Structure 1
Protein backbone atom coordinates (compact mmCIF):
# COMPACT_ATOMS: atom_id res chain seq x y z
CA UNK A 1 0.00 0.00 0.00
CA UNK A 2 1.40 3.38 -1.01
CA UNK A 3 1.93 6.03 1.61
CA UNK A 4 1.17 9.74 1.41
CA UNK A 5 2.32 11.59 -1.69
CA UNK A 6 5.33 13.91 -1.70
CA UNK A 7 4.29 17.49 -2.49
CA UNK A 8 6.11 19.26 -5.33
CA UNK A 9 6.00 22.85 -6.54
CA UNK A 10 3.37 21.93 -9.13
CA UNK A 11 1.07 21.36 -6.13
CA UNK A 12 -0.71 23.96 -4.02
CA UNK A 13 -2.67 24.60 -0.84
CA UNK A 14 -6.38 25.42 -0.79
CA UNK A 15 -8.10 27.13 2.15
CA UNK A 16 -11.67 26.26 3.10
CA UNK A 17 -12.83 29.50 1.41
CA UNK A 18 -11.64 28.46 -2.08
CA UNK A 19 -8.40 30.46 -1.92
CA UNK A 20 -5.25 28.92 -3.40
CA UNK A 21 -1.62 29.33 -2.44
CA UNK A 22 1.14 28.30 -4.84
CA UNK A 23 4.15 26.44 -3.50
CA UNK A 24 7.73 27.26 -4.40
CA UNK A 25 10.75 25.13 -3.62
CA UNK A 26 14.04 26.85 -2.80
CA UNK A 27 16.59 26.84 -5.64
CA UNK A 28 18.79 24.48 -3.61
CA UNK A 29 16.30 21.57 -3.73
CA UNK A 30 17.72 18.71 -5.78
CA UNK A 31 14.96 16.12 -5.30
CA UNK A 32 12.47 16.28 -8.16
CA UNK A 33 9.50 14.24 -9.32
CA UNK A 34 9.32 14.60 -13.08
CA UNK A 35 10.66 18.11 -13.44
CA UNK A 36 9.03 19.51 -10.26
CA UNK A 37 11.15 20.02 -7.13
CA UNK A 38 9.94 18.58 -3.82
CA UNK A 39 8.69 21.07 -1.21
CA UNK A 40 10.58 21.09 2.11
CA UNK A 41 8.31 21.43 5.15
CA UNK A 42 10.29 24.49 6.29
CA UNK A 43 9.30 26.47 3.19
CA UNK A 44 5.54 26.11 3.77
CA UNK A 45 4.87 27.92 7.06
CA UNK A 46 4.73 31.70 7.10
CA UNK A 47 3.26 34.62 5.22
CA UNK A 48 1.86 33.88 1.78
CA UNK A 49 -1.51 34.96 0.43
CA UNK A 50 -4.26 32.59 -0.64
CA UNK A 51 -5.41 34.06 -3.95
CA UNK A 52 -9.18 34.43 -4.34
CA UNK A 53 -9.97 33.59 -0.68
CA UNK A 54 -13.58 34.69 -0.07
CA UNK A 55 -13.72 34.63 3.77
CA UNK A 56 -15.93 37.37 5.23
CA UNK A 57 -16.71 38.11 8.87
CA UNK A 58 -20.26 38.45 10.21
CA UNK A 59 -20.33 42.09 9.02
CA UNK A 60 -19.47 41.07 5.46
CA UNK A 61 -15.92 42.43 5.66
CA UNK A 62 -13.35 40.36 3.75
CA UNK A 63 -10.44 38.85 5.65
CA UNK A 64 -8.56 36.64 3.17
CA UNK A 65 -6.23 33.93 4.41
CA UNK A 66 -2.72 35.33 4.30
CA UNK A 67 -0.41 32.88 6.04
CA UNK A 68 0.11 29.18 6.70
CA UNK A 69 0.95 27.07 9.74
CA UNK A 70 2.05 23.45 9.71
CA UNK A 71 1.37 21.26 12.76
CA UNK A 72 2.86 17.98 11.57
CA UNK A 73 6.41 16.82 10.92
CA UNK A 74 6.52 15.89 7.22
CA UNK A 75 8.21 12.76 5.91
CA UNK A 76 10.04 10.62 8.46
CA UNK A 77 12.98 9.67 6.26
CA UNK A 78 12.81 11.67 3.02
CA UNK A 79 14.46 15.08 3.35
CA UNK A 80 15.68 17.91 1.16
CA UNK A 81 18.32 20.28 2.46
CA UNK A 82 18.00 18.67 5.90
CA UNK A 83 14.25 19.38 6.11
CA UNK A 84 11.54 16.72 5.83
CA UNK A 85 9.51 16.98 2.63
CA UNK A 86 5.87 18.05 2.80
CA UNK A 87 3.38 15.21 2.33
CA UNK A 88 -0.21 15.49 1.18
CA UNK A 89 -1.24 14.01 4.56
CA UNK A 90 0.43 16.76 6.62
CA UNK A 91 -1.71 18.99 8.84
CA UNK A 92 -1.60 22.45 7.25
CA UNK A 93 -3.74 25.45 8.23
CA UNK A 94 -4.51 28.75 6.55
CA UNK A 95 -4.70 31.84 8.78
CA UNK A 96 -6.34 35.23 8.33
CA UNK A 97 -6.42 38.41 10.45
CA UNK A 98 -9.73 37.80 12.28
CA UNK A 99 -7.69 35.86 13.78
CA UNK A 100 -8.88 32.49 12.67
CA UNK A 101 -7.20 29.28 11.59
CA UNK A 102 -8.74 26.84 9.12
CA UNK A 103 -7.57 23.47 7.82
CA UNK A 104 -6.07 23.73 4.35
CA UNK A 105 -6.10 21.00 1.72
CA UNK A 106 -2.71 19.92 0.38
CA UNK A 107 -2.61 19.07 -3.35
CA UNK A 108 0.63 17.17 -4.06
CA UNK A 109 1.00 18.12 -7.72
CA UNK A 110 2.20 14.61 -8.64
CA UNK A 111 1.10 10.99 -8.21
CA UNK A 112 4.27 8.91 -8.55
CA UNK A 113 6.38 9.33 -5.38
CA UNK A 114 5.07 8.45 -1.93
CA UNK A 115 6.79 8.44 1.45
CA UNK A 116 6.05 8.02 5.15
Structure 2
Protein backbone atom coordinates (compact mmCIF):
# COMPACT_ATOMS: atom_id res chain seq x y z
CA UNK A 1 0.00 0.00 0.00
CA UNK A 2 1.24 3.45 -0.87
CA UNK A 3 2.41 5.59 2.00
CA UNK A 4 -0.04 8.32 3.07
CA UNK A 5 -2.86 6.81 1.00
CA UNK A 6 -5.27 6.98 3.94
CA UNK A 7 -4.42 10.60 4.74
CA UNK A 8 -4.89 11.55 1.09
CA UNK A 9 -8.26 9.82 0.92
CA UNK A 10 -9.48 11.34 4.19
CA UNK A 11 -8.33 14.85 3.27
CA UNK A 12 -10.25 14.48 0.00
CA UNK A 13 -13.36 13.30 1.86
CA UNK A 14 -13.00 16.19 4.28
CA UNK A 15 -12.75 18.61 1.34
CA UNK A 16 -15.89 17.19 -0.26
CA UNK A 17 -17.79 17.45 3.03
CA UNK A 18 -16.68 21.06 3.40
CA UNK A 19 -17.76 21.74 -0.20
CA UNK A 20 -21.20 20.39 0.72
CA UNK A 21 -21.34 22.70 3.75
CA UNK A 22 -20.24 25.63 1.58
CA UNK A 23 -22.98 24.89 -0.94
CA UNK A 24 -25.78 24.27 1.55
CA UNK A 25 -25.05 27.26 3.78
CA UNK A 26 -23.61 29.59 1.15
CA UNK A 27 -20.48 30.25 3.21
CA UNK A 28 -17.27 31.39 1.58
CA UNK A 29 -15.24 30.36 4.64
CA UNK A 30 -16.26 26.72 4.21
CA UNK A 31 -15.32 27.03 0.55
CA UNK A 32 -11.85 28.32 1.45
CA UNK A 33 -11.24 25.46 3.88
CA UNK A 34 -12.59 22.95 1.36
CA UNK A 35 -10.13 24.16 -1.25
CA UNK A 36 -7.31 24.10 1.33
CA UNK A 37 -8.19 20.53 2.25
CA UNK A 38 -8.26 19.42 -1.39
CA UNK A 39 -4.93 21.12 -2.15
CA UNK A 40 -3.41 19.48 0.92
CA UNK A 41 -4.77 16.12 -0.24
CA UNK A 42 -2.95 16.57 -3.53
CA UNK A 43 0.28 17.63 -1.80
CA UNK A 44 0.16 14.80 0.72
CA UNK A 45 -0.50 12.31 -2.06
CA UNK A 46 2.62 13.55 -3.84
CA UNK A 47 4.51 13.29 -0.49
CA UNK A 48 5.54 16.94 -0.56
CA UNK A 49 7.20 17.63 2.81
CA UNK A 50 5.74 21.11 3.18
CA UNK A 51 2.24 19.84 2.42
CA UNK A 52 2.67 17.02 4.94
CA UNK A 53 3.72 19.49 7.65
CA UNK A 54 0.83 21.86 6.89
CA UNK A 55 -1.63 18.95 6.76
CA UNK A 56 -0.38 17.74 10.15
CA UNK A 57 -0.94 21.15 11.72
CA UNK A 58 -4.29 21.59 9.95
CA UNK A 59 -5.55 18.17 11.07
CA UNK A 60 -4.41 18.77 14.66
CA UNK A 61 -6.24 22.09 14.89
CA UNK A 62 -9.31 20.62 13.23
CA UNK A 63 -9.24 17.66 15.64
CA UNK A 64 -9.03 20.02 18.62
CA UNK A 65 -12.01 22.11 17.49
CA UNK A 66 -14.03 19.02 16.54
CA UNK A 67 -13.52 17.69 20.06
CA UNK A 68 -14.62 21.04 21.52
CA UNK A 69 -17.78 21.02 19.41
CA UNK A 70 -18.39 17.39 20.37
CA UNK A 71 -18.11 18.28 24.06
CA UNK A 72 -20.51 21.16 23.48
CA UNK A 73 -23.10 18.72 22.16
CA UNK A 74 -22.72 18.76 18.38
CA UNK A 75 -22.82 15.04 17.60
CA UNK A 76 -22.09 15.52 13.90
CA UNK A 77 -18.60 16.77 14.75
CA UNK A 78 -17.75 13.21 15.83
CA UNK A 79 -17.34 12.38 12.14
CA UNK A 80 -14.98 15.31 11.70
CA UNK A 81 -13.02 14.33 14.81
CA UNK A 82 -12.67 10.75 13.58
CA UNK A 83 -11.47 11.87 10.14
CA UNK A 84 -8.94 14.25 11.68
CA UNK A 85 -7.73 11.58 14.12
CA UNK A 86 -7.03 9.08 11.34
CA UNK A 87 -5.29 11.76 9.26
CA UNK A 88 -3.05 12.54 12.25
CA UNK A 89 -2.37 8.85 12.84
CA UNK A 90 -1.37 8.22 9.23
CA UNK A 91 0.87 11.28 8.98
CA UNK A 92 2.62 10.57 12.28
CA UNK A 93 3.24 6.98 11.20
CA UNK A 94 4.68 8.27 7.93
CA UNK A 95 6.99 10.69 9.75
CA UNK A 96 8.22 7.89 12.01
CA UNK A 97 8.89 5.66 9.01
CA UNK A 98 10.74 8.39 7.11
CA UNK A 99 12.94 9.32 10.09
CA UNK A 100 13.87 5.66 10.58
CA UNK A 101 14.76 5.34 6.89
CA UNK A 102 16.90 8.49 7.01
CA UNK A 103 18.71 7.20 10.10
CA UNK A 104 19.48 3.97 8.24
CA UNK A 105 17.47 1.72 10.53
CA UNK A 106 14.96 -0.89 9.48
CA UNK A 107 11.31 0.03 10.27
CA UNK A 108 9.68 -2.20 12.86
CA UNK A 109 7.04 -4.61 11.68
CA UNK A 110 4.27 -6.01 13.81
CA UNK A 111 5.30 -9.62 13.14
CA UNK A 112 8.54 -10.99 14.54
CA UNK A 113 10.29 -13.86 12.81
Question: Where on the TM-score scale, by shorter chain, does this alignment land: which range?
Answer: under 0.3
Larger gyration radius, structure 1 or structure 2: 2
Bigger strand fraction: 1
TM-score by length of 1: 0.25
Q: Specify which structure has the bigger relative contact order, considering alpha-carbon pairs within 8 angstroms and separated by 6 or more residues.
A: 1
TM-score by length of 2: 0.26
